[in-house]
Structure 1
Amino acid sequence: MRKFLGQAAIIALSVSFASEAFAVEWNVSVWGKRRAFTEHVEKLAELVKEKSGGDFTLNISYGGLSKNRENLDGISIGAFEMAQFCAGYHRDKNPSITVLELPFLGVSSLEQEIELSMAVYNHPAVKDDLSRWNATLLMPSPLPQYNIVGIGDAPKSLEEFKGLTVRATGGIGAAMKTIGAVPTSMSATEVRQAMDSGVVKAVSFAPHAHMSFGTIENAKWWTTNLNPGTVNCPVVVNTDALDSLSDKNREALLGSVDESLAHYVDYYNNKTMKAWGPALEERGIEKITFTDDQIASFKEAAAAPAAKAWIEDNTANGLPAQELYDLVTGMIAAKK
């Protein structure tokens, strides 16, 4: 009997060790705090754990693993297995996906932003671009059109933006420059301090970020319809880590992307946007709405020159820039 029990204990112990050996934990680097912007990552972690029977876990860290501008670097050296970053933080590191940040593309919904992003992410030139960082694009973090909150006197015309210091990255920054504003690129976590200290007088963000990073706490005005564009912030995985997953765990991960994005869109539309209007009203923030003619004038000044410059610069650097631009604009035109 003792011999039988001893053998049973050894078998049980072996099974336990085998289970632990096959368990996989990934570290995920994001920043700020849990908010609409990270809901798809949170949902992905939940689904992966459920579908793998607990054998695959995503440990999400809000700023504990890396600075947000260094997440792509961390992925490249395998410091963590998954991360979120924004293309506009370092355009030279991921030029191919900055086509999605060009001003006035005319994207009308989060669902369309997802469709465009995934089409670009799956383009061979884009895959090659990100492979330089040992990164595989997993999913976007779709954001609505950006608008601006500011302190001081509200600009009632495009001319009144002249000289205004505004936090604006990527294509939005380029667009603001065409109307005389002075764009400054900084990460989201730096914005509130910059605004409070007067380094910038205005901030370009999507609604969730204005609420999450406190830019509306001292703001006096908000542009309701400037809509110069948005930023593209993908979630990427370390390619070696992805390749090392078992078939079951890889399917748990890749097979959960669509559901995670659907959860994100529902959360953004039905929670974040419903909270946005009341948040402005509670603080007495003035809403500035520009005329159709003013918006048309802004678009004419910003859109074509930015697209032309982007195509020329990236073609010179070896990207099929015209092809990528045509892919995006063609998909948008087909929906109109």
Structure 2
Amino acid sequence: MRIKSTALSVALASAIALSLPALAQTVDGPTVEWNISTWGNKRAFTAGMEKTAELVAERTGGKFTMKIHYGEALSKSRENLDGLSIGAFQGASVCGFYHPGKNPAWSVLTLPFLPFSDWNVSRTVRDNMMKHPALVADMDRWNAISYMSGLIPPNEAMGRGKPPATLSDWKGMRVRAGGGLGDAMEILGAVPTTVPAPDVYTSLERGTIEAAVFPFTYAFSAYKLPEISTWYTSNMSLGVTECWIVFGKTAYGNLPQQYKDLLEDIKDAAYEAQIAAYVDIDKKNVPVFREKLQELVYTDEQLAELRRVAGQPVWDKWVAENQDKFDARGLLDALLAEIEKAQKGT
């Protein structure tokens, strides 16, 4: 009986061990300390990065650590790629439209009205596109490699003053919007500007801009825009702003293979944390927005007109402006093919 019991215990223990998630396993290696540069405070956007740092330390028993520096403590938001290129820090958040000249191919992801229909499609497409040679080449110029997308949700607008109840009301409005979203707003007659996120509150308060296009809803609350705004849109779904986490290529290359493997192993958990943060903040923010601000809901006819005048024309303009820099048409076609493939897989 004793032997049988022991054998049963061993078998049971083995079964339990096999059923434990990979995250419970410890990875041994040298002591490595990384500094990560970002802007703003802790918020939904930083959840994926924070989960990555948490799991890296946990899985290595504290031997591999990532210290996240908020509030542009290490670098201005527009200069994170520059800092990575000289090895000033080992990782950073990057938003492409802050510096479109530094990463022109990445702007394909900011084109308006791309059909990122759900979180799974968004993640799959953006992960796959990070491996595209044109996007890889953009990062190579800055001695950087892409790790994961910030999975920015679709953008809406928030502002003060006369609300743009009709599409014609946007004419002449000064709006914080970048990339293809800025081009779309310009077609509506607005005057787009690429004010960095930390400066939007002051710009809106002083009247330098009259509205800001931001990911719904976390960015509005993160930068406290509801405090000084009077209205917001809830169904324009202009498109996404591509921001992502990058690592210095030299720093990443110096990691032992087990740490590189670990970064891949924990990516699913980091994405899960990122998505959960967005979902949770929406549940909190939407009721508050509706209580305090005027919600603008455009009709199906208005949305169809918006997409007609500011969708495909912006895509065509983007191709024409970038074709001499890289195969812009081929890149856009690759993106649309990835979206179609991902949608069929959901």
Q: TM-score, normalised by structure 1?
A: 0.90
**Given the alignment of the two structures, is residue 235 of structure 1 paired with residue 267 of structure 2, yes or no?**
no
Q: Which secondary structure does the structure 2 equivalent of 1:96 belong to?
A: helix
Q: Which residue of 1 aligns with 2:277?
A: 267
**Given the alignment of the two structures, is residue 61 of structure 1 paired with residue 106 of structure 2, yes or no?**
no
Count of aligned positions: 313
Of 41, 44, 60 in structure 1, the residue corresponding to residue 49 of structure 2 is 41
Cα distance in 1, alignment partners of residues 274 and 138 from structure 2 = 27
Amino acid at match of 2:282: M
Q: CA RMSD in A?
A: 1.3
**Given the alignment of the two structures, is residue 251 of structure 1 paired with residue 258 of structure 2, yes or no?**
no
Amino acid at match of 1:55: K
Cα distance in 2, alignment partners of residues 31 and 198 from structure 1 = 23
Cα distance in 1, alignment partners of residues 129 and 327 from structure 2 = 12
**Given the alignment of the two structures, is residue 321 of structure 1 paired with residue 328 of structure 2, yes or no?**
yes
Cα distance in 2, alignment partners of residues 81 and 235 from structure 1 = 11
Cα distance in 2, alignment partners of residues 281 and 232 from structure 1 = 27
Residue 315 of structure 1 and its aligned partner are, at CA, apart by: 1.6
Q: Which secondary structure does the structure 2 equivalent of 1:105 belong to?
A: coil
Q: Which secondary structure does the structure 2 equivalent of 1:163 belong to?
A: coil
Amino acid at match of 2:158: V
1:148-187 aligned within 5 A = 148-187=157-196
Q: Does the 8 Å contact 1:116/1:331 carry over to 2?
A: yes
Q: Which secondary structure does the structure 2 equivalent of 1:142 belong to?
A: coil
Residue 254 of structure 1 and its aligned partner are, at CA, apart by: 2.6
**Given the alignment of the two structures, is residue 95 of structure 1 paired with residue 104 of structure 2, yes or no?**
yes
Residue 246 of structure 1 and its aligned partner are, at CA, apart by: 0.9
Cα distance in 1, alignment partners of residues 238 and 149 from structure 2 = 19
**Given the alignment of the two structures, is residue 85 of structure 1 paired with residue 94 of structure 2, yes or no?**
yes
Residue 50 of structure 1 and its aligned partner are, at CA, apart by: 1.2
Of 205, 216, 234 in structure 1, the residue corresponding to residue 226 of structure 2 is 216
Cα distance in 2, alignment partners of residues 222 and 246 from structure 1 = 48
Cα distance in 1, alignment partners of residues 322 and 156 from structure 2 = 27
Q: Which secondary structure does the structure 2 equivalent of 1:300 belong to?
A: helix
**Given the alignment of the two structures, is residue 330 of structure 1 paired with residue 340 of structure 2, yes or no?**
no
**Given the alignment of the two structures, is residue 304 of structure 1 paired with residue 306 of structure 2, yes or no?**
no
Give ranges in structure 1 of 5+ residues lacking alignment: 1-20
Residue 200 of structure 1 and its aligned partner are, at CA, apart by: 0.5
Residue deviations 1:143-171, cap 9 Å, x none? 11111111011111000110111111111
Residue deviations 1:23-68, cap 9 Å, x none? 1000000110000000000000011011112110001000210111
> Bigger shift: 243-252 or 55-64?
243-252
**Given the alignment of the two structures, is residue 29 of structure 1 paired with residue 37 of structure 2, yes or no?**
yes
Q: Which residue of 1 aligns with 2:19?
A: none
Residue deviations 1:161-184, cap 9 Å, x none? 101111111111110001101111
Amino acid at match of 1:104: F
> Bigger shift: 325-334 or 151-160?
325-334
Residue deviations 1:242-290, cap 9 Å, x none? 0100122222223212210111112211x111012122134x2011111
